[in-house]
Amino acid sequence: MTRIGIICKKGKAEPIELLKGLLPWLSERGLTVFVESEAAQNLGIQGYDRRQLPALVEMIIVLGGDGTMLSVARLVAERDIPIFGINLGGLGFITEVSRDEALDALDKVIAQDYVIEDRMMLHTRVIRQGQPTAEFTVLNDVVINKGALARIFDIEIFIERRYVTTFKADGLIISTPTGSTGYSLSAGGPILYPTLHCMVITPICSHTLTNRPIVIEDAMLIEARVTPGSKDISLTLDGQLGEALCEGDVVEVRRSEHVTRLLLPAQRDYFQILREKLKWGER
């Protein structure tokens, strides 16, 4: 990989400071670098529209947090381009490499001492009166929830066209294994090993205590129907995209034909990451 794209978290100084040192380091190693427009403007160099980068590069380095990684995952989903994340955000479950480890990790990447981990994505459609009105591909999760002033509402769940149950809850999360350490975990869902082929359905503050998260295989179709009388309901995707839902709308969720390709150090230990990020074993 000799053509490298770089995308930075917007509105933050730290990614730009890191980029200043990273550009000559990459150039010394004979790599051609394409920097997104906003970051390039800060440095007074030529930049490229973020939407152009997937057609120009063989790999993308993300300087930011998991939110930036999620947006880049959607950007390159159809291009099969690996992403290397340097964590400049919070927890960093997807951007696993810290700033201090960045150059050593990139040296290993250049020496081809790395693994590429394919993470499943979700394809989501909103069906209104029998017709699709919106489609999305996401890495983390699909969330159906209520507005700030709405009450508990009912969501009918079907798996493979078979009725499962009606959740009376504040909302519903349908998550990939990658997304299981996000909103789903906060709502009581399980941690799933990120390369598993499955999805987890997690109710948010269910009115019925026996309603628990359900893990199903990724080949299954999930349909969530907003029942009549429900008001002020929204669909949120990866916590970044939104769509208003109407009563009677059906949200279809299935495994996407695309994957997110994460470029990771060969010696990386996922369980060590869990211990560090979730503070396991600390008192």
- pLDDT, one tens digit per residue, over 199-239 is 999 999 888 888 899 999 999 999 999 998 888 899 999 99
Domain co-membership, 249 together with 270 = no
Where does the pLDDT of residue 98 fall: very low under 50, low under 70, confident under 90, or very high at 90 and above? confident
The enclosing domain of 92 has a CATH number of 3.40.50.10330
Q: What is the pLDDT of residue 149?
A: 62
Q: Is the confidence at residue 148, as pLDDT, over 70?
A: no
What residue numbers bound the domain in which 72 lies? 3-113+266-278
Residues 236, 134 share a domain: yes
| Amino acid at the residue 166 | T
Annotation says 66 is catalytic: yes
**Same structural domain for residues 108 and 127?**
no
**Cβ atoms of residues 12 and 34 within 8 Å:** no
Tell whether 283 is covered by a domain.
no
Within this chain, do residues 49 and 126 fall inside the same structural domain, yes or no? Answer: no
Q: Are 158 and 244 in a shared domain?
A: yes
pLDDT confidence of residue 150: 60
Structure confidence by residue, pLDDT tens digits, 125-139: 999 999 999 999 999
CA nearest to 127, candidates 244, 254, 248, 257: 248
Q: Which of 66, 170, 238, 249 is catalytic?
A: 66
Within this chain, do residues 68 and 127 fall inside the same structural domain, yes or no?
A: no
Q: Is the same domain home to 221 and 237?
A: yes
What CATH number is associated with residue 168?
A: 2.60.200.30
172 CA to centre of own chain: 17
Q: pLDDT at position 279, please?
A: 82
| Residue whose structure tokens are 């291009």 | 79
How many domains is the chain partitioned into structurally? 2
In percent, the amount of the chain with pLDDT more than 70 equals: 98
Find where tokens 């628990």 sit: 212
Alpha-carbon distance 121 to 117, whole Å?
A: 13
